[in-house]
Each structure stands twice: as structure tokens, then as C-alpha cells.
Structure 1
Amino acid sequence: MSRDRVAALWQQAQARQLLPADAVVPPPETARPWPVALLTALGAWLAAVPLVAVLALAFGPLFQHGGAWLAGGLLLAVTGVILRADGLPLFVEQLAVPLLLTGGASLGFAMFQDLPDPAAAGLLGAVSLLLGAWVRPLWLKACLAAAAALFCAVAIGRLVSPRGAWPLPRPEWLGWHAGVLIWLIAQRACRPVGLRPGWLALATGWGAMTLLGLALSSGMALLTSGTLGNWGSTHGMAWAGGAGGVSAVLALAAAAWLTRAWPLLRQPGAAGVALVMAALAGFMPALGAALLMGAVCLAWARWRLAVAAALAALWIIGSFYYQLSWPLATKAAVLAGAGLLLGLLAWPALRRAAPGQPQPRAALRPARWGAAVSLVAVLAVVNVAIVQKEALIAEGQPVFLPLAPVDPRSLMQGDYMALNFSLPGGVRSVDSASLGSARPQVVAQRDGQGVARLLRVHAGEPLAAGELLIELSPRSGRWTVVSDAWFFREGEGQRWAAARFGEFRVAPDGRALLVGLRGAGLSRL
């Protein structure tokens, strides 16, 4: 797009109050072609490997006598001077980056070894931020600011007294929200757009890491654990104390910020949307902060960070699925009710045509068809899965597997019970390659009561009389039979603690479904 066209669109956006009146067009980028930059960076990093090895041999003995402080400080000082130079060639810039990482790792090792964790994390964050302000490459400023945001959040979280002493869902909640406050102050210093590219790079890096922290600290989002693995707590940041109230207030502040910047939003429908989002934020302590950051980015034309804030908000809403303190039906009702209210609020706005625009009925026909097709697809996928599982329950063979011992500390966690089954030898832990291939199956043999023993991994051989196949499922980095947890209603832990068998329904092709738990002697619980 030509520079004149960009300027014309910018003026139209300001005339419609979509951009602040004092916003200016960002200067054109003069970046190198990415293949050239990639190959140059690759050569520099390969050249840095022997250099870092020589430095490790030279300074290695010093690490045993507190020399990590000296080695890390010297490396950071040298690379800081290099990266401060004007007109730095790309090769030299990339060559300095491994030295910067080596110096930072050395200094971090010394700090965490000799200082308390909060002091070490805070000091390392301050060093990262000072280096970010000192060096000239904008991308490196953003990366160092992101590291500073992470270390500062860790420092504040470690300063918080043990869990339960604060009315917070997790200690890091306060750290990430302090990061949001610092980001807001930095964003104010970056206005108008394009006048302070260095400050803007620092604020962008800090904001991106803060959004990432808000999202990931909320727990796994819906359906992501199947592909990314269950690397975090499934409880996420559930509502606790006043954290939900703070989140709701921040969501209302986000709406007020956008309304002040965009007068077009000063109407009852937009106020209703703000109230719905504030209600959702009350149940999700990290949502309000993400919405506020997104609103500020939209009002101040930080488009890429606004997209990141939207993705973080979607992740946080998806993590609501895993808040085990709520029944699944209640969570579904909350989200469905919020979606219905948002749809009703959006409908009048969709029916009104702006001056000079096509009539809404014709303009919105593709969107309506898309929404209808999406709804039919969602209902089809869900109901096909329901029908398949109901058929498996009705027609599958009843099989009982003895429960193997589990770590007593993880036997009962909240509203679910950890399960473990003794698998035969030859079943390895889950790797990324195996997730895309057929799942392994084990051969089981039932007795007269239906209690089965898992004999071996099936290698395609014919089954003997009385044998059947059971398909394994990946859970938490290992294979198990269907599931490694049994979920129950709040307050029923004592009832299910007597479980000794898992009750399954198994299809002829090995597909299995966990339908219940049985006590000693297969007694019903």
C-alpha cells in the first residue's frame, strides 16, 4: 500500500473518531529481507558457539568461587556497549546476542544462589529493563522488556505470603496485575504513536509478556490439553476473595476507556455488552486485566498488541471450563447465557445500516449463512459424540479393572479422584510422534465376574478365547485406560474413596468408556 493511501485512511479513521486526533502515521519500515536476516543470524549464532565455549573454559573455575557475578557482569557490559553502537551490522548484532544470554544466565545463577528468590528475581528484572533501555535494536528492547516483566511478576509473587494469607487465587495474580499497571504508565509515555520507538518497543515487550502470563496462569484452555498436554494446574485461577471483584472493575474500566475514545460506543447496546463482560470477568480473575489492556491498545492504535489481548481473553474464557469448583452444567449455563445476551444486544446494531453503506439484510447474508453452518456443525459434532458414547454404554461389554495404588497426595484433589491402572510391560510414555498415529491397544482377559487382567500390548496377533482389546489414551504424558481421573460432585469424596475397581464398557474394536467405580467385591458405590 502506498504512503499516500495510508495517510488517507489514517485521516478517515480520525474523522470517524476511530483513532485519537493526535495520532500520527508511523514511519515506514526499512527492514532487510527476511531470508537475508535469517541466514546472517544463523551464521552469527554458529560462530558464537566456539566463542561461548572458550569463555566457559576461561571463566568456568570462577563459578566455584563466586565469580559468576564478575563473569556475568563483564559479559553484559561488553555486549551492552556493542549493541549501543550506531549502524551496527546485522552479523555483529546477532553475534552479541548469545553473549548477552550467556552473561544474563551467569548473573542470574549468581543472584539466585546468593540472594533470596524475590530479591534475585527483582534485581534480574531491573537489569533486563536497564539493558533494554540501553541497547539500540528495537526487537531486542522488546525481548528484554518481556524478560523484565516475567522476573518482576515472579518477584512480586514470591513476596506474597503463602497461599491463603491473601484473598487471591494464586500468588502470581498480584504480580501480573502489577505488570498491567506498569504497562499502562509506559503506554502513556509512548503517545503519540511513532514519536518514541524505543519506549514503544519496551512497552510492547512488557505488554506481550504480561498478556501471556495472564493467560497461562489461568490454566489450560478448553480442548488445548489434548494437543499441548496438561502442563499446568487444571484448576487455573478460579475465583477467590476479592480477585473476581477487581477483575469486574477492570472490565468496566476497559469499557469506559473505549467509550471515551470512541463516541460511537455511547449507546445502550454497548453498555449492555460491557455489563456482560464485567459479569464474566467476575468469575475469571485474569479476564478484566486482559480486557483493559485490549481496550487501551484499541484506543491508542496498538493493533498487534490488541490482537494479542483478544487471544489472551479468549484463552482465559476457555480456561473457565477447567474450574473444578463449579459443576460443568453451571459453567455451560453461564457461558451460554452470556452468549445469548451478547447476541441479543448485537442484533439491533446489525439491522441498522450506516449512511452510505449497503442495506444490512444483503450485506449480512454471508455472515448469517456462516453462523448457521457453524451452529449446525457444532451441534452435529457434539451429538454424534453423544450418540456414539450412548451406544457404547448400551452395547459394550462390562469390564472391571482393579485400581492400582497412586500417590496418596494426589488421590483426592478438589472434586476429582486420581486413578491408576497397572499396564503390561512395553507401554512407554507418550511422545509427540505417537499422538498422530494409532493408539496402542492392550490384550485383557476377563474372569467370570468380569474382572479383567491386562496381559500384554497387542501386536496384531489373533486373540485367544476370553481375550479382548482395550485401547489406551494419552493423559499427562503417559498412557492409561480411558482416563486418569474420576470427577464427582462437591462433598462426595468420602463415598468414592472406597473405590477398588474401575467400571468400563468396551467395544469389540477396543474403544472403552469409564462409566463408574466399584468398591470391594464389585459393590456399587
Structure 2
Amino acid sequence: MNAKVRLNEAIEAAKSEGVLPAEAEALAQDSRPWPVVLLTALGAWLAAIPLTIVVGIAVMPRNHETAGLFVVGLLVLAGAIAVLRSRTIPLFVEQLAVPGLIVGGSCIAFTIFDGMHWKGGAGLVGVLCIVVAVLIPRAWLRVLLSGGAAALLAIATVDESWSHRDGIANDFWWAWHAIGLAAGLAAFVQSQLGTEGRSARMAIALDAMVAGVLIAMLAALCWWSGMAFLFGGALQIHGDGLDAASNHVQATDLALLQAISAALAIAAAAWVARQWPTARKPWTAGVAAVLVLLAWFMPSLGAVLLALALCVTARRWMLASTAGVAFAWILSSFYYALTWPLATKAWVLVACGALLAALAWLASGRSLPASAPGVQALQSMPRHVSGGIALTLLATLVVANVGIWQKEQIARSARTIYVELAPRDPRSLMQGDFMSLNFRLPMPVQDAVRDLGDGAKPQVIAKVDAQGVATLVRMEDGSPHAADELPITLAYKDGRWIFVTDAWFFKEGEAERYAPARFGEFKVGADGKAILVGMRGVDLKPL
């Protein structure tokens, strides 16, 4: 059954229930294949580029003042809106109007920001985006314009010290929650509108605009919460968002933000229970309690949970998926919450996981029957597959423990040397529970290893004095070593060669202890393999 048949059946069912009037019918759909639409749009955008350049060359010399630019932008914007409001316009011309919309809006925005304070300019341009979204009967454009308007209105509320970051954490949190509240009120109004005439058109417009604001709010709260753990680890970067976890929210305000976030999570659970009577069970209350606890620890999570609950119960699956991704992002960013010790964060997540597992067992009520699909799949698994899984687990344990044993052997019996730390940006020295290090490589060594790939194993020769302080002097070239020289293997990380490591990990709360570090203490084996075992201060004093 195709989509058109399902739509007609749904309309007929709605008319029989009195939801839709008897004369209601499906709107005519564009029958053009999407590749044709995409290629036509691409051609229109490419044609718009030289057109914009020609118009700019023709107009700008005569309009050096921003007033002229404002008039030109207003005319271009009005023309683009008129084209997009037409129902019979060819697709190519319609796509030409989209760049015109951007060019016209950009000209107007430039003149507004040029003549106003940035806060007032952001607010005025945001209002302009809302007006244009109402006027243009294109759902995808309404989503984009509404999301942009929400971002601009949020920027308009930021404190003057926004460039210093410390002044904007509270402002952004409150701004986006206020915008989310406005979107919720708009959604309620949309649900109360009729299905005929102007009311129906307004309901359609509000639906797309609320979706745009919701997507922008979810993205903003993810950014506010900081970098997600898995994403940051994959890209070798570390989160520093605007979350209270990054110490950008004052402690006096943190409790209030946590309480509101927990209250929003409670509202989400209550809404789900109200809409779905089957969810009113003891184990679902336990799940809700876990989510409320997480929302208390993560002040940006409560609003996301409420948005997720509203979208799921309304069967808005695309928006619900977006909210689900935002939930996973914020939960993952908890790793970088410097307000909480790592042990506390670990216990919170472990306790929540254990409680959810217990609730899942309680919900099942009994063990799975042998006829359950999952059990049948496990029973029918070929022996070589299950054996392969067991061997993989065993091999993982063996490889990990052999690596640990090798490191322990180096630490016990290898030679101790000390390498002086090179200067680093002090802002990058202390980052949570590790110290970012830099050991200077001589320029000839840097030149020699610059083009080597990660498959090579270059070594550098270190000259060791009577105190054990090593100075890196040259690359290993096969020549005989002096009595005070030894080779050390370099390590490849993030596309560059480094001396053994670029970080020293330590227990949380010991940052001040290692702040005066001036030397790295290494154990070096006969084969050149080295590990960092400690840090030393001035005059090699232990820390």
C-alpha cells in the first residue's frame, strides 16, 4: 500500500469520525521525481551566484550608504517572498527565489546591525525571520527561519560580557528555556485552531515554526552542555561548553537550575502517564525517578526530556528522534562535568544503570520463555560463532594484560631519566584530571620525522647527565652511542610525532600538586621503549 492510498484512507476515516469536514480532500502532490527537483534546484542556485554578483556590481557603486543597501535588500526580499507565495511558479524560478531570500535578508540584516547595538539588532532580525516565515508557505523554509529566529532572540538576551563566556551561561540557559516555553504555548494554540480557512493555514504555519524552534533549542542545549564524550574522543578534542559542569554557572544559581531541570523531567513523566494509561506502572515510575535524578545532575537535560515526551506522545517521530539524540549527547557530556568528581559521576551512572536493569527485570516479571525470539536465536547460534565470540573475548584479555605486564616490567627494571618540560600555553596546562605536556624535540629531529607515517618507529638520542636529566640531541642514525647516550622511541599521535606522551593523568583533586611540574620522570628500556612514571618539580624534587 503506497503513501497516497494510506493518506486517502486516513482522510476518509477522519471524515467519518467528524474530525474533518465532508468536503475535505488531499492536496495535489508534486509528482516530479526528487532527483529532478534536486538537479533543478542545484541549477537555480548556480545561476543565482553570477546573478547576485551582477546585481551587486550594478547597485553598490550608486549606494555607498547603508540606506541604499537596505532598500535594495527590502526589494529583493519582497520579490523572493512574492515568488515563493505563488502556487503556479516553475520549480527553477522558485529555487532562484531562495538565494534571493538569503541575499535580501542579509542586506537588511547588515544595515540593521550597522546602525544598532548588537543585542537590539539580533532581536530585530529575529523578528524579521518570524515575519518572513509566516509569509512563506514552504514548511522547510519555515523550519529554518524559525530556528534562526530562536537563535537570534536568544543572542539578544545575552549579557554584555558574552565574549568572556562566564557571563553567558545563566543567560543562555534561561533564554532557551523561555524560548522552549514560548514554543510550547504556540503548539497549544496550534492544537486549538480549526481545520478550515485561515485557522487551518495558521495551524500549518505554527506547526512548522514550532518544529524549527524545538530543533534549535535542542541543538543549543547540547552546545550548552559541552562536548559529548564519544564524539570528543573520536576527534581528540575535549568539551568546554557552557554547562554548569564546566564551571561557567555560579554555584549560587546551580541549585535553582538543577531544581527546574528536575521539575521539567517530572512534568515529562506526568505527561507520558497522562497520555498513555499503560505507562502507569510501578516500574515506569522507577524509570522516571532515574531520569529525574539524571536531570538534576545535568541542568540541560530536563527540557530535553519534556520535549522528548511531548514528541513521542504526539507521534512526531522525527522530532522525537532529534530529542533522543540530544538526550544521548547531554548524557555523554556528563563525562566532562568538572563540577563533579570522576568517582561521583561513575557511581551515579553505575547506580542508574543498575536500577534500570532491576526495573527491566521487574517489568519482565519472569524469565524469558524458550519460545521467545531472542532465546531461539541464541539457541540456534552455530557453535563456531559462539566459539569465535569466546575466543575474541579471551584474546582481548590476553592482549590487554600482556601490554600491562610489559609496562610493569619497564617500570621495575628500566633506567630512570628526567626530561624537562617545554613551555606551553598556561590555559592548556590543567584540563580536568590530566596535565597536558610538551617535550621539545630539536628542530633537526622535527624535520626528520615530519614526513614519516605512523607505521615507522623513529628513535631520538638522549644525552643524560650525572643527575639523570636527559637532553634530546639528534635522531638515531646507527652510529655508536656514547656512554651517556641512549635511544628513545618516539610516539605517533594526532598526526604528529611526540616524545613518548603528551599527557600525565592523575587523581582528581590533585591539580595543585602537579601544577609546579618542570620535569617528566621516565623509565627507559634497553630497546628504547619508555613510559612516563611521574612528575618532578624544580631541582628534580618529587611532587
Instruction: Report the TM-score, using the length of structure 2 for normalisation.
Output: 0.78
Correspondences of 1:273-422 after superposition (within 5 Å)? 273-351=287-365, 362-365=372-375, 388-389=403-404, 391-395=406-410, 400-412=418-430, 417-422=435-440
- Once residues 505 and 203 of structure 1 are traced to their aligned partners in structure 2, the CA distance between those partners, rounded to angstroms, is 60
Contact 1:504–1:514, Cα closer than 8 Å, also in 2: yes
Deviation at 1:401, TM superposition (A): 3.4
Deviates more, 1:132-141 or 1:303-312: 132-141
Distance 1:211 1:26, change over 3 A: farther
Contact 2:462–2:473, Cα closer than 8 Å, also in 1: no
Deviation at 1:273, TM superposition (A): 0.6
Deviation at 1:141, TM superposition (A): 1.2
Equivalent residue letter for 1:345: L
Deviation at 1:440, TM superposition (A): 7.8
Secondary structure at the aligned position of 1:305 is classed as: helix
Alignment of 1:139 with 2:153, yes or no, is no
Alignment of 1:262 with 2:276, yes or no, is yes
Secondary structure at the aligned position of 1:324 is classed as: coil
Alignment of 1:198 with 2:205, yes or no, is yes
Deviation at 1:31, TM superposition (A): 6.2
Contact 1:400–1:502, Cα closer than 8 Å, also in 2: yes
Distance 1:445 1:479, change over 3 A: closer
Alignment of 1:438 with 2:451, yes or no, is no
Distance 1:95 1:471, change over 3 A: same
Secondary structure at the aligned position of 1:171 is classed as: helix
Equivalent residue letter for 2:36: V
Secondary structure at the aligned position of 1:472 is classed as: strand
What's the counterpart of residue 180 of structure 1?
180
| Among candidates 225, 243, 250, match of residue 257 of structure 2 | 243
Relative contact order: is structure 1 or structure 2 higher (C-alpha 8 Å, sep ≥ 6)? 1
Unaligned runs of 5+ in 2: none
Equivalent residue letter for 2:372: A
Deviation at 1:494, TM superposition (A): 3.4
Equivalent residue letter for 2:422: A
Deviation at 1:182, TM superposition (A): 1.9
Deviates more, 1:94-103 or 1:140-149: 94-103
Distance 1:415 1:469, change over 3 A: closer
Contact 1:471–1:512, Cα closer than 8 Å, also in 2: no
Percentage of matched positions with identical amino acids: 39
Secondary structure at the aligned position of 1:301 is classed as: coil
What's the counterpart of residue 33 of structure 1?
33
Residue-by-residue CA offset, 1:82-119 (whole Å, 9 max, x unaligned): 21212332212221222222223333333333322221
Equivalent residue letter for 2:185: I
- Once residues 506 and 112 of structure 1 are traced to their aligned partners in structure 2, the CA distance between those partners, rounded to angstroms, is 60
What's the counterpart of residue 225 of structure 2?
218
What's the counterpart of residue 491 of structure 2?
471
Larger-gyration structure (1/2):
2
What's the counterpart of residue 53 of structure 2?
53
- Once residues 375 and 280 of structure 1 are traced to their aligned partners in structure 2, the CA distance between those partners, rounded to angstroms, is 35
What's the counterpart of residue 117 of structure 1?
118
Deviates more, 1:254-263 or 1:149-158: 149-158
Deviation at 1:344, TM superposition (A): 0.7
Correspondences of 1:514-525 after superposition (within 5 Å)? 514-525=532-543
Distance 1:382 1:100, change over 3 A: farther
Distance 1:175 1:391, change over 3 A: farther
Secondary structure at the aligned position of 2:229 is classed as: coil
Deviation at 1:161, TM superposition (A): 8.4
- Once residues 427 and 440 of structure 2 are traced to their aligned partners in structure 1, the CA distance between those partners, rounded to angstroms, is 19
- Once residues 509 and 141 of structure 1 are traced to their aligned partners in structure 2, the CA distance between those partners, rounded to angstroms, is 65
Deviation at 1:445, TM superposition (A): 2.2
- Once residues 236 and 49 of structure 1 are traced to their aligned partners in structure 2, the CA distance between those partners, rounded to angstroms, is 40
Unaligned runs of 5+ in 1: 15-20, 429-433
Contact 2:462–2:474, Cα closer than 8 Å, also in 1: no
What's the counterpart of residue 70 of structure 1?
71
CA RMSD of aligned residues (A): 4.4
Deviation at 1:278, TM superposition (A): 0.3
Distance 1:42 1:206, change over 3 A: same
Residue-by-residue CA offset, 1:94-148 (whole Å, 9 max, x unaligned): 2122222222333333333332222122112111121111112211111111111
Contact 2:463–2:473, Cα closer than 8 Å, also in 1: no
What's the counterpart of residue 18 of structure 1?
none
Instruction: Report the TM-score, using the length of structure 1 for normalisation.
Output: 0.80
- Once residues 378 and 179 of structure 2 are traced to their aligned partners in structure 1, the CA distance between those partners, rounded to angstroms, is 40
Distance 1:490 1:228, change over 3 A: closer
Distance 1:71 1:293, change over 3 A: same
Equivalent residue letter for 1:395: I
Secondary structure at the aligned position of 1:406 is classed as: coil
Residue-by-residue CA offset, 1:337-365 (whole Å, 9 max, x unaligned): 10110111121223479xxxx96861442
Equivalent residue letter for 1:66: T
Residue-by-residue CA offset, 1:488-525 (whole Å, 9 max, x unaligned): 55654432221012345678998875543221233321
What's the counterpart of residue 431 of structure 1?
none
Equivalent residue letter for 1:126: V
Equivalent residue letter for 1:473: K
Equivalent residue letter for 1:469: T
Contact 1:427–1:457, Cα closer than 8 Å, also in 2: no
Deviation at 1:306, TM superposition (A): 0.3
Distance 1:401 1:89, change over 3 A: farther
- Once residues 382 and 136 of structure 1 are traced to their aligned partners in structure 2, the CA distance between those partners, rounded to angstroms, is 60
Deviation at 1:409, TM superposition (A): 4.5
Equivalent residue letter for 1:298: V
Contact 2:461–2:475, Cα closer than 8 Å, also in 1: no
Deviates more, 1:211-220 or 1:186-195: 186-195
Deviates more, 1:108-117 or 1:252-261: 108-117
Deviation at 1:442, TM superposition (A): 5.9
Deviation at 1:452, TM superposition (A): 4.5
- Once residues 361 and 8 of structure 1 are traced to their aligned partners in structure 2, the CA distance between those partners, rounded to angstroms, is 39
Distance 1:443 1:337, change over 3 A: same
Contact 1:468–1:508, Cα closer than 8 Å, also in 2: no
Deviation at 1:328, TM superposition (A): 2.0
Deviates more, 1:311-320 or 1:102-111: 102-111
Deviation at 1:206, TM superposition (A): 1.5
